[in-house]
Amino acid sequence: MCSYYPAAPPQRWLHLSTGHTVPMHCLIHSLFLPSGLLVRSLEYNQPADNYTVCQGDDAILSCSIDKEVTRVAWLNRSNILYAGNDKWSIDPRVQLLTNSQAEFSILIASVDVWDEGLYTCSFQTQAKPHTAQVYLIVHVPARITNISSAVTVNEGSDVSLLCMATGKPEPTSVFVSVSPPLHTSSPHTDGFTSEGEYLEITEINRQQAGEYECVTANGVSLADSKRVVITVNYPPTIKDVKDAYPPVGKPALLRCEAMAVPPAEFEWFKDDKHRLFGGLEGLRIRNERTRSMLLIDNVTARHYGNYSCLASNKLGVSNASLRLIRMSPSSGVSRAGCVECSFRCDCQVEGAWRE
């Protein structure tokens, strides 16, 4: 079922059996009927009335006659649908509703686009033949028939998305960015809209990755929409790293965070030459999606020194240096890179690894 929203209704409206409305202009020799559309006589060369229905709805066509009518028929173009009570159409959707001295009505169930066209009520009186016509217009809700699959590209590439839709009247389509940018300082913070079947992005950057929604509508029914995801690959970028200042005998944490797509793989080195592995010399390495943490349960003198974090993916490598510096708890120095409990005697090691 479709819903129509006329912008500015004229003075008189004809109500259809489908619940929709179409304008009624100066009907000649015609009678308003509560169900269906009454067609008018063409004796004065008036154009046929338009009857607009939605695909899938029923259409009722009613012809006003009187007792002087001797023969009556409904035709679609030149094809007879009903002649009096006799059905000529082989379409089971076409049914006779009323054949009385005042009205001759047929029903077309579940109309489709091929039902659109000119319908004629032809009737004969003792004086002369008469015809009345109506043009059936079938509206089809907008539907997306083809949309690009998910796209994965490297940063700096050009991207083209396609969204094809059908409907009657011809639908309009727009692409809307629906994902928030990675950084609020991005120029795309408020998203953007692109009209038409294609969305072209030149030299895409990481802030433009995310979901894009294609919305198509033609005013017949609710808009149709589908989404496509753009993934932008880029090399690792290590964010702020901080030194740690634990005293001997306390736990310590060095953290390395890297933004990358695909996610980076992490490696740790000491003094730029010895690769570190978890389980050796009281070290633990905990890797998560965007960060790696080097944890030392019990700091000894040999743990102090320079450390390097290396983050890599198929697009590149990034590294950063960190230091584990010996600091006495009595100094009162507190650094963001230290574990808080490094300065508390009642701290449990397993509870130390909190941000």
pLDDT digits (tens, 9 = 90+) for 284-311: 999 999 999 999 999 999 999 999 999 9
Instruction: Check if the beta carbon of residue 217 is closer than 8 Å to that of residue 224.
Output: yes
Residue type for position 80 = I
Strands 129-147 and 49-54: parallel
Fold of domain 148-233: Immunoglobulin-like (2.60.40)
Please give the pLDDT value at position 355. Answer: 39
| CATH number of this structure's domain 239-351 | 2.60.40.10
Main-chain phi, psi angles of 263, to 5 degrees: -55, 145
CATH (one of 3.20.20.150, 3.40.50.620, 2.60.40.10, 3.90.550.10) for 13-139: 2.60.40.10
Please give the pLDDT value at position 190. Answer: 45
Instruction: Check if the beta carbon of residue 101 is closer than 8 Å to that of residue 66.
Output: yes
Would you call the peptide bond into 262 cis, given omega within 30 degrees of 0 as the criterion? Answer: yes
CA distance 304 to 245: 9
Would you call the peptide bond into 235 cis, given omega within 30 degrees of 0 as the criterion? Answer: no
| DSSP conformation class of 244 | B
Domain ranges of the chain: 13-139, 148-233, 239-351
Instruction: Check if the beta carbon of residue 72 is closer than 8 Å to that of residue 80.
Output: no
Please give the pLDDT value at position 353. Answer: 39
Answer whether 13-139 and 239-351 agree in fold.
yes
Please give the pLDDT value at position 179. Answer: 76
Three-point CA angle 103, 108, 110, nearest 5°: 150
SS3 108: strand
pTM: 0.69
CA distance 207 to 318: 20
Task: Name the maximum alpha-carbon separation found in the chain.
Answer: 120
Instruction: Check if the beta carbon of residue 199 is closer than 8 Å to that of residue 175.
Output: yes
Residues of the chain with pLDDT under 50: 4-36, 40-45, 182-190, 333-355
CA distance 221 to 39: 26
